[in-house]
Homo-oligomer: A and B are copies of this chain.
């Protein structure tokens, strides 16, 4: 039996009103330094430079995902039958902790330092950390089992799908939360209905047919949030520059040309891979401090990148169709761009969207009124239309425009 808090804890949330915590283990996890670190990492990195309201942290989002997970557990009777008390704790803790492995400006960070946040999350959960200590205090298997959910080993298939699939508590929280803070007109979901229609068939999370409109709406909101917010070219440019800065630091450290104690935490990650104490220090404050510091450093490439980043002289961008790559080459040649000064960014079928619409959507399973399991695209002409007609794609060159420099 997992102990309850004597008095339930309440967090005031701008989206959900109140978030409740009754399990002692959840409360203790929230209080760990690794979870508190998420307060210092903005959820949307560069997007907040375009949408000034989007200054919320991964801490807020993580609490929100936990809250939705609890909500699902309370609303869906069949879940309480399918999941043992132990599994319910695995589920709630996984929801809470799913993002603890994120680095600062996470996408660029992962890309350059070859760190997958799922893996870092699992390592924090099972490593030499306060989180691990808390989990052990309650049950010796808990840390390993939560890590297995994060890594999707298949041990807890229902929990894995609830936490991470085409339609999960993670995505439902971030779409609404990001829409709320950016002020985007889209992103309001009919979560109540989606959750009420959720059920389990053959160890699979499926949705009753009554949820189809709500799911169509969810997918469209997601589509619009990607194109209006997450893929906003100015936000992308910001991230591309960060990637260049990260890359230059990486190369300098590897070639022993950067000797600044302040960069030690990054050095440890680069040289040894994941290390708990170093990782703990990596947050937005650290990276922003680094950029300020390196704007005065000796390496010209790095100092210029940092300077322009600080002054928001972002990389320029142009859209070019896939068959016009010569245009890209010309710009690169004309500007004498080094590898740190441009990036070709495909936002297309190779990235989120096919993933999400072509392949993945077929994976959302609908329990039709006549009792059959169907894929969403079999039921919904809208989604079928989206899958067959091809999805908007885009290819942009982001580059340092030296003509103005």
Interface residues of A in 343-386 (CB under 8 A from B): 380-382, 384-386
Q: Which of B39, B288, B385 contacts A40 (CB 8 A)?
A: B288
Q: Mark A213-246, 1 if CB is under 8 A from B, else 0.
A: 1101100100110011000000000000000000
Report how far A145 CA is from B63 CA in the complex, Å. 45
CA distance A36 to B53 in the complex (A): 14
The answer to whether A381 and B391 touch across the interface, beta carbons within 8 angstroms, is: yes
Please give, as numbers and ranges, the residues of chain B lying within 8 Å of A60 by CB-CB distance: 52-53, 55
Selected contact of A183 from candidates B17, B31, B311, CB within 8 Å = B17
Given A184-B12, A190-B185, A385-B389; A56-B53 close (CB under 8 Å): yes
The residue among A180, A182, A213 with the most chain B CB atoms within 10 A of its own CB is: A213
Q: Does A284 contact B (CB under 8 A)?
A: yes
CB distance from A197 to the nearest CB of B (A): 11
- State how many angstroms separate the Cβ of A184 from the closest Cβ of chain B: 7
- B381 and A186: CB pair below 8 A? no
Q: Chain B residues near A227 (CB, 8 Å)?
A: 213
Q: Is A57 an interface residue (CB 8 A)?
A: yes
Is A11's beta carbon under 8 Å from chain B?
A: yes
Is A188 in the interface zone, CB < 8 Å from B? yes
Report how far A385 CA is from B388 CA in the complex, Å.
7
Say yes or no: A14-B181 contact (C-beta < 8 A), given A217-B224, A385-B385: yes
Whether A59 is near chain B, meaning CB under 8 Å from some CB there, is: yes
| Chain B residues in 8 Å Cβ range of A18 | 192, 196
- In the bound assembly, the distance between CA atoms of A391 and B183 in angstroms comes to 31
Taking CB atoms, residues of chain B closer than 8 Å to A214 are: 185
**A111 contacts chain B at the CB level, 8 A cutoff:** no
For the complex, is A392 an interface residue (Cβ under 8 Å from B)? yes
Given the known inter-chain contacts A190-B186, A381-B391, A384-B389, please indicate yes or no for A180 contacting B284, CB distance below 8 A.
no
> What's the least CB distance linking A133 to chain B, in Å?
14
Is residue A189 contacting chain B, with contact meaning CB distance below 8 A? yes
List, in ascending order, chain B residues with CB within 8 A of A381's CB: 386, 389-392
**B-facing residues in A1-55 (Cβ within 8 Å):** 10-15, 17-18, 31, 33, 36, 39-40, 48-49, 51-53, 55
Indicate if the CB atoms of A11 and B56 lie closer than 8 Å. no
A272-312 with Cβ < 8 A to chain B: 281, 284-286, 288-289, 292, 310-312
Can you name the residue of chain B whose Cβ is closest to the Cβ of A193?
B185
CB distance from A189 to the nearest CB of B (A): 7
Q: In the complex the two chains form, is B183's CB within 8 Å of A13's CB?
A: yes
Contact with B along A60-84 (1 / 0, CB 8 A): 1001000000000000000000000
- What is the CA–CA distance of A217 and B224 in the complex, to the nearest angstrom? 8
Chain B residues, Cβ within 8 Å of A55:
39, 55-57, 60
In Å, the complex CA distance between A285 and B284 comes to 8
From the candidates B14, B180, B285, name the one contacting A182 in the complex (CB within 8 A): B14
A59 and chain B: residue at smallest CB distance: B52
Query: Are A312 and B36 in contact, with the CB atoms below 8 A?
Result: yes
Among A33, A51, A186, chain B packs the most CB atoms within 10 A around the CB of: A186
Interface residues of A (CB under 8 A from B): 10-15, 17-18, 31, 33, 36, 39-40, 48-49, 51-53, 55-57, 59-60, 63, 180-186, 188-190, 192-193, 196, 213-214, 216-217, 220, 223-224, 227-228, 281, 284-286, 288-289, 292, 310-312, 380-382, 384-392
Instruction: Give 8 closest A-B pairs by Cβ, nearest first.
Output: A385-B385, A385-B389, A185-B190, A14-B183, A14-B53, A285-B285, A12-B183, A285-B288
Known: A40-B288, A382-B389. 12 other contacts (CB 8 A): A10-B196, A12-B182, A14-B53, A15-B53, A31-B312, A33-B311, A52-B60, A52-B63, A55-B57, A55-B60, A186-B190, A381-B392
Q: What are 22 of the A-B contact pairs (CB < 8 Å)? A: A12-B182, A13-B52, A13-B183, A14-B180, A14-B181, A14-B182, A14-B183, A15-B53, A39-B49, A39-B52, A39-B55, A52-B57, A52-B63, A53-B56, A186-B213, A284-B285, A381-B390, A382-B385, A385-B386, A385-B389, A385-B390, A389-B389
